[in-house]
């Protein structure tokens, strides 16, 4: 199994997209994905929720599949379980998405090695892990501390030297 290490270049490129899908955003108002959705929207991102089990997220129309989004998006943040990430990545490829972030804070998150390999084989920029909160400017204290701690232990993403993902 290859490393799940992400590059800072890929993270910054993803966050430069001002419109992207959030696939697997929860229906539960107190969930982490809703907190992230709310924060991204408050920062000016147009986040398109994708969850086949709900018609809307915080008043935003929700799509059942990423292929249903019109106009299409170029990037997707996956908040899914690893068990479905592989099929979601295939859906993203069919929808023309060229940048995918597989969320991860604690545990495995959305990361699935076969899905990471699929992205790399199909020239899709992939961030296999990481919590977006940690990379948002002026993040709250806990997220800044998380980034600082990861820098101390040498686990913070670095600049790419030979490939974008």
52-63: pLDDT as tens digits: 999 999 999 999
User: Average pLDDT, stretch 63-69?
Assistant: 97
pLDDT tier at 8, thresholds 50, 70, 90: confident
- Strands 60-61 and 56-57, bridge-based pairing: antiparallel
pLDDT tier at 1, thresholds 50, 70, 90: very low
pLDDT tens-place string over residues 82-116? 999 999 999 999 999 999 999 986 666 899 999 99
Distance CA 34, CA 32 (A): 5
CB 98 within 8 A of CB 124: yes
Q: Is 158 contained in some domain?
A: no
Nearest to 27 by CA among 60, 5, 3, 75: 60
Q: Is 1 contained in some domain?
A: no
Q: What are phi and psi of 73, to 5 degrees?
A: -100, 160
Q: Is 2 contained in some domain?
A: no
User: Which residue range is the domain that position 103 belongs to?
Assistant: 8-152
Distance CA 25, CA 1 (A): 28
Q: Is 162 contained in some domain?
A: no
Q: Is 128 contained in some domain?
A: yes
- What is the structure's pLDDT at 2? 43
Burial 57-94 (b: 16+ CB within 10 A, else e): beeeebbeebeebeeebebbbbbbebebbbebbebbbe
pTM: 0.85
Domain count, the chain: 1
Q: Is 130 contained in some domain?
A: yes
Q: Is 90 contained in some domain?
A: yes
User: Average pLDDT, stretch 141-163?
Assistant: 62
Residue, of 124 and 156, whose pLDDT is higher = 124
Q: Is residue 81 over pLDDT 60?
A: yes
- What CATH number is given to the structural domain containing 133? 3.40.50.720
Q: Is 164 contained in some domain?
A: no
């Amino acid at each position: 199994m290859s490393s799940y290490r992400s590059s800072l270049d890929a993270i910054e490129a993803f966050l430069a997209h001002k419109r992207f899908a959030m696939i697997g955003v929860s229906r539960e108002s107190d969930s982490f994905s809703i907190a992230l959705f709310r924060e991204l929207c408050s920062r000016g991102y147009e986040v398109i929720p994708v969850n086949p089990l709900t018609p809307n997220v915080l008043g935003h129309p929700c799509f059942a599949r990423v292929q249903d989004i019109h106009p299409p998006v170029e990037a997707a943040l996956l908040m899914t379980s690893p068990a479905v990430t592989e099929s979601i990545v295939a859906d993203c490829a069919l929808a023309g998405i060229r940048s995918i972030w597989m969320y991860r804070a604690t545990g495995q998150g959305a990361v699935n090695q076969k899905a990471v390999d699929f992205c790399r084989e199909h020239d899709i920029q992939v961030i296999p892990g990481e919590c977006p909160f940690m990379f948002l400017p002026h993040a709250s204290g806990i997220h800044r501390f998380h980034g600082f701690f990861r820098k101390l232990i040498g686990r913070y993403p670095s600049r790419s030297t030979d490939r974008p993902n």
